[in-house]
Amino acid sequence: MKHISDCTVLHNQVKMPWLGLGVYKIPDGEEVRGAVRYALEHGYRSIDTAALYENEAGVGQAVKESGLRREDLFITTKVWNTDQGYESTLAAFETSRKKLAMDMIDLYLIHWPVKGKYKETWKALEKLYKEGWVRAIGVSNFHAHHLEDLLADCEIKPMVNQVEYHPLLSQQELRRFCQAQGIQMEAWSPLARGQILNDSTVLTIAGKHQKTPAQIVLRWDLQNGVVTIPKSSSEERIAENAGIFDFVLSADDMAALDSLNENKRVGPDPDNFSF
């Protein structure tokens, strides 16, 4: 993890960048196009969107305008809860694909584990994967018990589980479970919506390395083997978030950050989410 182009290798041998740009709540149109443009200019090659975000068209337009080769980019989107189910997921995927204006999506995720629906939804993702419409498939916001339920009778194991992950919610048991299963964990809200940035431990480590608190937390993600997708529409922040490949946190730094865990969520708990 020494360069922004460095990748993890998913269990199906597809390469996925360790760092990506999240575009949650960035309005479609010029704002999201600008964010994606800034990210690509600063070396990002992974962009994470979703049907829920309603900005897939802007992401697709920015990618097209970048002039970069499509095969050099890694684009993720997700099926929303109200579209879950077999046929409805296939239709939702086609809608997302057309909005993105792409022949193939790199990673397609189930956004939340909607009880009674996510298994049928997964069958649709397996079909899309086998037919070559997506390079990898995975889930988001799945606890270990959701994964165990899915793994009990799925044909293809998820390649990724994207979850809330930051030092206040280190999800160590889930991370160990995913590692044992060969499922790559990915962090959304890696900065805990800013709540972690004024922590005294984070500030001390930031001073030691002459880095910003955000850079310290994002580096912690990577050294824990977790892909991370910080969200920003500011070019300054996007560039700052990319500055995490020229230093290494010590074992003591990592242990100090690990100790901050409070099992504190800034987003919904997948077991208590209003679907």
**Interstrand relation of 46-48 and 7-9 (parallel, antiparallel or unpaired):** unpaired
d(CA 113, CA 26): 24
Token pair recorded at residue 184? 């790559």
d(CA 165, CA 8): 18
Which member of 38, 53, 118, 165 is catalytic? 53
- Phi, psi angle pair for 168, to nearest 5°: -80, -15
| Token pair 């337009």: residue | 61
d(CA 244, CA 18): 11
How far from the centroid of its chain's Cα atoms is residue 150's Cα? 20
DSSP E strands in 172-245: the ranges are 184-188, 227-228
Question: Is 118 considered catalytic here?
Answer: no
d(CA 110, CA 114): 9
Query: Contact 191/168 with Cβ under 8 angstroms?
Result: no
C-alpha pair distances (Å), 204 with each of 133, 254, 262:
46, 13, 19
Q: In this structure, how many other beta carbons lie within 10 angstroms of the beta carbon of residue 45? A: 20
Token pair recorded at residue 136? 């990898």
d(CA 256, CA 253): 5
Token pair recorded at residue 240? 């700052």
**Hey, which residues are catalytic here?**
53
